[in-house]
């Protein structure tokens, strides 16, 4: 459980100011309008270390003419860039998607946009656009697609990080979060929450595994990003048991088929396009 007085989503005021300044520079330098910006990563999930970086993610739109050109703005025949990324420094990682890219991923039931829109830390927001985006993520949400997304993430992180006798503390959490998201999806029609402890409270409210994860969170929030420790048998056994079960069973979850006309209509409205 969270220790009294612990801020599990810490954003230093000077870092918030730096992120807002970076977003304003992006708008000026790229001639775009940022309609939503949030914190992703460990600060959004609620298990950041004191030296965790800031992972700001955003959605932006160009003016209408940018989308309606014969020769694209990069060079003829080359796809226009649909991502803006600032050089990563020691503390700030700032990147974003063009709205059209975000909607394309939404149409394929990729859960990433849904996570951003439910982040507990929002830097910028156009309520009219983000309100409609949230509605669309709900109407296009597929439990089956989301389950496969998180299951794949858990397997990849497990293979990459949890094989040794000493394990970096944060890597345990990078596997536990998608596993708990899968467990959430198996029993709920609603998308899994972004905050890690909300997943824990629903899927592991008590017991030895929960106690070990709570202890792990205390260590993670107090130690550096590269801190490691010995393998924790009760946590590792839980992870391996769940991955073995998920790999063995065939998920019987509904696959939602959503029509794309609503995405097209919203996109045209958001960029100010009016067909005549």
How high is the pLDDT of residue 258? 61
User: Strands 33-40 and 92-98, how do they pair?
Assistant: unpaired
Q: 193 — alpha (psi -120 to 50), left (phi > 0) or beta?
A: beta
Residue 275: its pLDDT value, please? 55
One digit per residue, the tens of pLDDT, for the chain of length 276 reads 444 334 677 788 999 999 999 999 999 999 999 999 999 988 999 988 888 889 999 999 999 989 988 766 665 556 678 999 998 887 899 999 999 999 999 988 889 999 999 999 999 999 999 999 999 999 899 999 999 999 999 999 888 878 777 888 888 899 999 999 999 999 999 999 998 999 999 999 999 999 999 999 998 888 877 778 888 999 999 999 999 999 998 877 776 666 668 999 999 999 987 554
Long-range CB pairs of 208-215 (<8 Å, 24+ gap) are 208/234, 209/234, 209/235, 209/238, 213/176, 214/1
124: its two tokens: 């910028």
Contact 24, 94 (CB under 8 A): no
Residue 180: closest CA among 156, 153, 200: 200
**The predicted structure's pLDDT at residue 162:** 81
pLDDT given at position 4: 37
Going by C-alpha positions, the residue among 169, 188, 198 that lies closest to residue 46 is 198
The pLDDT value recorded for residue 226 is 73
Element (H, E) at 212: helix 208-222
pLDDT at 165: 78
Q: Is residue 256 within 8 Å of 41, Cβ to Cβ?
A: no
Cα distance between residue 89 and residue 85, in whole Å: 12
Write out the two tokens for 116. 């951003």
| Percent of the chain that is helix, strand, coil (3-state, to 5) | 50, 15, 35
Q: What is the largest CA-CA distance in the chain?
A: 66
Helix 169-187 with 143-161: angle, nearest 10 deg: 160
């Amino acid at each position: 459980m969270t220790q009294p007085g612990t801020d599990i989503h810490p954003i230093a005021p000077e870092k918030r100011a730096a992120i807002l300044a970076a977003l304003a520079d992006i708008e000026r330098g790229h001639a775009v309008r940022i309609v939503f910006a949030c914190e992703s990563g460990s600060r959004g999930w609620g298990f950041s270390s004191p030296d965790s970086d800031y992972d700001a993610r955003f959605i932006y739109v160009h003016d209408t003419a940018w989308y309606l050109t014969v020769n694209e703005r990069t060079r003829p025949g080359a796809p226009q860039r649909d991502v803006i990324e600032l050089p990563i420094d020691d503390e700030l990682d700032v990147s974003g998607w063009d709205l059209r890219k975000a909607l394309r991923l939404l149409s394929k039931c990729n859960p990433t946009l849904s996570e951003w829109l439910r982040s507990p830390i929002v830097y910028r927001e156009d309520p009219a656009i983000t309100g409609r985006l949230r509605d669309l993520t709900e109407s296009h949400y597929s439990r089956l697609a989301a389950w496969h997304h998180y299951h794949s993430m858990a397997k990849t992180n497990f293979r990459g990080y949890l094989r040794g006798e000493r394990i970096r503390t944060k890597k345990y959490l990078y596997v536990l979060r998608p596993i708990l998201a899968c467990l959430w999806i198996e029993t709920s029609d609603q998308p899994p929450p972004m905050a890690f402890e909300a997943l824990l409270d629903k899927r592991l409210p008590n017991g030895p595994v929960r106690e070990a994860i709570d202890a792990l969170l205390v260590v993670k929030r107090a130690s550096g990003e590269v801190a490691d420790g010995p393998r924790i048998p009760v946590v590792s056994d839980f992870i391996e048991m769940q991955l073995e079960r998920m790999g063995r069973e065939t998920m019987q979850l509904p696959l939602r088929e959503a029509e794309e006309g609503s995405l097209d209509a919203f996109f045209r409205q958001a960029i100010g396009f009016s067909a005549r």
